[in-house]
Amino acid sequence: MATKRLPELLTRVRTELDRVMAFWLRHSHDQEHGGFFTCLGRDGAVYDELKYVWLQGRQVWMYCRLYRELPRFRTPQILEAAKKGGEFLLRHARVSADSPKCAFVLTRDGRPVKVQRTIFSECFYVLAMSELGRATGDAKYTVAAKEMMSQIVRWVREDPSGLGRPQLSGATPDSSLAVPMMLLCLLEQMEEASEEGEGAVGGGDGNAELGRWCVDRILKHLQRGGSVVLETVTPDGEELPGSAGRLQNPGHAIEAGWFLLQRASRLGDAALARTALASFVDVPFSAGWDPQHGGLLYFLDADGLPPTQLEWSMKLWWPHCEALIAFLMAFRETRETRHLDSFTRVLDYSISKFSDADHGEWYGYLDRQGSVTHTFKGGPFKGCFHVPRALYMCEKMLADLTDASKASG
Amino acid sequence: MATKRLPELLTRVRTELDRVMAFWLRHSHDQEHGGFFTCLGRDGAVYDELKYVWLQGRQVWMYCRLYRELPRFRTPQILEAAKKGGEFLLRHARVSADSPKCAFVLTRDGRPVKVQRTIFSECFYVLAMSELGRATGDAKYTVAAKEMMSQIVRWVREDPSGLGRPQLSGATPDSSLAVPMMLLCLLEQMEEASEEGEGAVGGGDGNAELGRWCVDRILKHLQRGGSVVLETVTPDGEELPGSAGRLQNPGHAIEAGWFLLQRASRLGDAALARTALASFVDVPFSAGWDPQHGGLLYFLDADGLPPTQLEWSMKLWWPHCEALIAFLMAFRETRETRHLDSFTRVLDYSISKFSDADHGEWYGYLDRQGSVTHTFKGGPFKGCFHVPRALYMCEKMLADLTDASKASG
């Protein structure tokens, strides 16, 4: 019986989460300026002091979430570091006091170095502020989250001009999967934070409408009769020409899968749950899993051509994190053994290839054959987020499933 | 004797150039709109119709250069395709009629899709127009080249605000090796084009002053007592902190090496020639050549850490092209056998790993072990340029060296 495996899996996941968090707690705190160092070498040594706003926001969120959800992480050290990270973002994330636009990367002491013409720095700012509001009970963080959320929704749905992207006559209007995924993630966060019913978090007529818009937009990326999830389509859900139109990112599709599954669960929408499982989890996993060397490929072209991205055949840590969450959530929903088998397969691959037994945390980047290409534990795009988020969510699900199987056993 | 090898090397290089050019002549011409398709699969099939301005400009330059310099390429077909490419750029490269700023990528029919906040699209526009002016004798192309060159020099040396980059308080002023290299390349082109003495091609007090500025800026990238060429330094030639400050790109340094060697030869500057050979060719080649698998690594960190670029350990075609030119030029200057040995080593690696015996042209991207990761022959950054430029320059040098050795033999 599949449930026999659950206690052992729970122990593995819990142990790994402790080892991962010990790494960040020990090496990443900037005691002088607040916030976190995230460019950390194999042993935790800081190799670059730049502070990437995505990663600052994500680490604040992660610390607060663990503080609230898992009793062994409910420590003053964790809350204090999260608050210092939140205050660093409040003081420094915005490029100027009169603009909502956040920097992409800051100096150690908080001066802006680069700005992206996208919404993502602002999204991780919202995630941080919302969860910090929940962990501390301090309304100023919650207000900051809501204000920025409203701004993001306006940029996405009403007027993108504040993002600073030029309008060019040859640029086909397009929809990037990341945008509705990110908004759905934020909506889920804000709804959880205000379960008591504080009303709409963004523009339009409230949460439900925004949620429908996000789901509808995500589903438009399902193309070719449901056989492929494409990263970029037209806003009406048509395929775009060229390499960009054919691009698949299996890990991203799988992440969208568990976002949709979570939404379907909230709404009690069985049809949406089936689509999420079949088309956003099973299909991209089958397409993306390397039959020769194992592991999820980073990018694919829907026509089987080589993607133009140089790193397409590498194995990155985060798609594996998303797959862990998605398959365990799929098992929780369906109790089909095959989903627990897939979870175990991804966990075995991840622990054996990414996890560093000596210093804790996971490596982020492997070549196609599965050898580590970058020995650092944190970098411009890898911080304290995907690994502990996956492990914490899996620990919670495995604990619930173990309890349930005991109760029924 | 080293010169014994020259005739055989000349034959190999000439044969390879013919195979490479046959590929582009057959597959890349857009008969309907002018310009070139550059996203070409292994067999030449177009997999994306986008037109990257860098690659349009480079192909026009390459066609005109071959037309002018090698009699077997002096064909109406080549001149006609170059002119249609030049006209396509004149009509469509600029984002708007009242701005000098060029797009980075255009639709097949010439509408702008993306703009970069750098000078490089404009630089390849200059290269195209200048050489097209020489090949056709039509002054309108030469005028277009000179006008854009003046604009580029103003952006780089006087006022970058027209490039559209925001000024941010945390962004340390920096000097990217690409900028003075590119200007020196353009200056060399413009000086060649106006050997009859039409005077200065840019701002300041003329060509000589601009040339000194470029050389001086390039030399500032030589750091740590001449042991390393860094991609980015401060404008005063100080090392920058973090990963960006430690970044090395051996192929780029080697390309700068032969640019400097060419300049030293023009100026009769023996000290500059020695620095170019020792510090910009020999040192980066030793640092970048993979002792285990052969081939030049794409990026290195000066402290031996992993660069954050995901593709750092891949083997790209173009650094090998630059090394071919640099080592043959080094041999021509010094007649030291070791330089011809290095040339042969790089040629053997390149022909065996990059060249496609079935369809012609070179693959662009190998993994560290030397296996092809991307089967296409052209992509967003690979067109009809580095391979034929290296082969044409090497053919010319080998022919001259062969003649010289016959004359002295």
What is the predicted ipTM?
Answer: 0.95
Which tops the pLDDT comparison, B284 or B162? B284
What is the identity of the amino acid at B272? L
Residue B111 has its nearest CB partner, among A169, A241, A314, at A169
Place of tokens 């009690």: A268
| Angstrom distance (rounded) from CA A196 to CA A219 | 29
| Angstrom distance (rounded) from CA B179 to CA B156 | 8
pLDDT digits (tens, 9 = 90+) for B201-249: 544 458 999 999 999 999 999 999 999 999 999 999 999 999 999 999 9
What band does B3 get if pLDDT is binned at 50, 70 and 90?
confident
What band does B350 get if pLDDT is binned at 50, 70 and 90?
very high
Please report, rounded to a whole number, the percentage of residues in chain A having pLDDT higher than 90. 91
Residue B306 has its nearest CB partner, among A50, A305, A375, at A375
Q: Helix B120-136 and helix B76-92: axis angle, to 10°?
A: 140
Average pLDDT of chain A?
A: 95
**Whether pLDDT at A343 is above 60:** yes
Please report, rounded to a whole number, the percentage of residues in chain B having pLDDT higher than 70. 97
pLDDT digits (tens, 9 = 90+) for A2-46: 789 999 999 999 999 999 999 999 999 999 999 999 999 999 999
Residue B41 has its nearest CB partner, among A103, A110, A305, at A305
CA distance A89 to chain B (A): 15
Instruction: List the alpha helices (DSSP H) in A281-363.
Output: 283-288, 317-334, 337-353
pLDDT digits (tens, 9 = 90+) for B89-120: 999 999 998 899 999 999 999 999 999 999 99
φ, ψ of residue A52 to 5 degrees: the values are -80, 125
Place of tokens 């929809």: A175
The whole-number pLDDT of residue B407 equals 85
pLDDT digits (tens, 9 = 90+) for B112-132: 999 999 999 999 999 999 999
Q: Contact at 8 Å (CB) between A256 and A322?
A: no
* Mutation for testing the B interface, residue in A305, A311, A313, A381 having most B CBs under 10 Å: A305
**Whether pLDDT at B195 is above 60:** yes
Using an 8 Å CB-CB cutoff, list residues of chain A that contact chain B.
39, 41, 47-50, 95, 103, 106-107, 110-115, 166, 168-171, 241-244, 305-306, 308, 310-314, 365, 367-368, 373-376, 379-380
Q: Do A112 and B170 touch (CB under 8 A)?
A: yes
Residue A47: its chain B contacts at CB < 8 A? 242-243, 305
What band does A195 get if pLDDT is binned at 50, 70 and 90?
confident
Is the torsion defined by CA of A134, A135, A138, A141 positive or negative? negative
Average pLDDT of chain B?
A: 95
- Structure tokens of B365? 């991207």
| Farthest CA pair distance, chain A | 64
**Whether pLDDT at A153 is above 50:** yes
| Angstrom distance (rounded) from CA B3 to CA B6 | 5
Q: Contact at 8 Å (CB) between B118 and B102?
A: no
Q: Contact at 8 Å (CB) between B216 and B226?
A: no
> Mapping DSSP to helix (H, G, I), strand (E, B) and coil, where does residue B28 land?
coil
Our CA dihedral for B387, B390, B395, B397, rounded to 10 degrees, sits at 180
Cα–Cα nearest to B329, from B319, B342, B317: B342
**Whether pLDDT at B369 is above 90:** yes
The whole-number pLDDT of residue B200 equals 47
Q: Contact at 8 Å (CB) between B79 and A137?
A: no
Using CA atoms, how far residue B397 sits from A54, B328, B337, B401, B403, in Å, is: 51, 7, 15, 6, 10
Q: Contact at 8 Å (CB) between B260 and B282?
A: no
pLDDT digits (tens, 9 = 90+) for B265-283: 999 999 999 999 999 999 9
CA distance B162 to chain A (A): 14
Using CA atoms, how far residue A186 sits from A124, A128, B36, in Å, is: 9, 10, 44
Residue B112 has its nearest CB partner, among A103, A168, A313, at A168
DSSP state string for A147-174:
HHHHHHHHHHHT-GGGG-PPP-TT----
The whole-number pLDDT of residue B165 equals 87
Q: Which stretches does DSSP call E strand in A256-313?
A: 300-301
Q: Contact at 8 Å (CB) between B162 and B174?
A: no
The whole-number pLDDT of residue A215 equals 98
What band does A409 get if pLDDT is binned at 50, 70 and 90?
low
Q: Contact at 8 Å (CB) between B368 and B315?
A: yes
Please report, rounded to a whole number, the percentage of residues in chain A having pLDDT higher than 70. 97
Chain A nearest-CA residue for B102: A168
What is the identity of the amino acid at B144? A
| Angstrom distance (rounded) from CA B102 to CA B154 | 15
Strands A247-248 and A232-233: what pairing?
unpaired
A128-142, A193-207, A295-309, B286-300: which has the minimum mean pLDDT?
A193-207
The whole-number pLDDT of residue B2 equals 79
Q: Contact at 8 Å (CB) between B347 and B295?
A: no
